[in-house]
Amino acid sequence: MRKAVITGSTKGIGFALARELLTRGHSVAVTGRTQDAVDDAVERLRPAATGGAAVHGFTVDVTDAAQVEKLWSAAVDAMGGVDLWVNNAGVANTTRPIVETSLEDVRTMVTTNMLGTVYGSQVAVRGMTAAGGGQLFNVLGGGSDGRIRPGMGVYSATKRGLDSFTRALVKEVEGTSVRVGQISPGILITDGWLREAAAAPEQVAKQRKMLNILCDHVDEVAPYLVERMLASTRNGDAIAWLTTGRMTRKFLVPRKDDVLARYGL
C-alpha cells in the first residue's frame, strides 16, 4: 500500500488522482485552502477506498513553507509515513495578455505554482530521504514545453520554470533513495478550466472545434496517470497524457461526442 499526499486535491485532476489511488487500495492525504472544501472532498472520496485504504484531509496554503512542513508531519502521523508526494496545487488565469493581468493574479500564480511546488519538493525530498525513500511527482501544465500561447504568458512562465526546477531536482537526487518525476496531464476540463472559459466565451466559441479534439475529461485521464505513477521505477520519469502520438490520433480519428456539451458549453 502506498501512502500519498496530493496537494490541491479537493477538485479537478488532484481529486481524480486521489480517487484512483484509493480505488487501488492506497491511502491518500488530500489538501485544500479551506476546511469546507477539504471536508467535502474527504466525504466524497471515502466511498472509493478499498483494501484498508483511508483518506485524510488537511487544510494548507502551499505558499506558506511552515504550513507545508506541518502537512508532512500531519500526513506521516495519520498514515504512518509518506512514500508518494504529488505537487498538484496550482492556479491559472489565462484570459488576459501579460500587461493586463492584475497584480493579484500574477502574485497568486507565481506563489502557488512556483513557490508551492518548490516548498513541497523540499519537504518531500527531505522527509523521504530521512525515512529511507519515496517518490515525488510535480504536475506541469500548458507552457511547460516552451510553446507560447495567447493569454497564458504568466501562467506558462511558471510552468516552464517548474519544468527546469524538476529537471534540476532529478539530477540532485540521482543515486539516492528518492525518485523525482513530472506529470503533464494534457488539456483537461476542470473547474478552473470552466472558470476561464466562462470569462472568455467568444474565444471558446471560436476554438470549439479544436477544443473538442484536444480536451479530455478528468475521469478519463486520471486512471492512466495513476497507473503510470504506480508503475514508475525510474528517477526522472516524465508521464504525459497528450503525447505526440495521442494528439495525432485525435486529429486522424476525431471523437464523435461533443466534449464541451457535458458542461453546458
Q: Which residue numbers are catalytic?
A: 155
Which whole-number Å values give the CA distances from 89 to 73, 132, 231, 246, in the listed order?
Answer: 19, 26, 23, 26
- The CA-CA-CA angle for residues 5, 142, 21, to 5°, reads 25
Amino acid symbol at 77 = D
Grid coordinates standing for 115? 513557490
From edge to edge, which strands make up the β-sheet containing 3-6?
A: 55-59, 27-32, 3-6, 84-87, 134-139, 178-184, 238-240
Which amino acid does the sequence have at 248?
T
What pairs with residue 87 in β-bridges? 138
> Which H or E run includes 150?
none
Q: How far apart are CA 226 and CA 222, in angstroms?
A: 6
- What CA–CA distance (Å, rounded) separates 242 from 219? 15
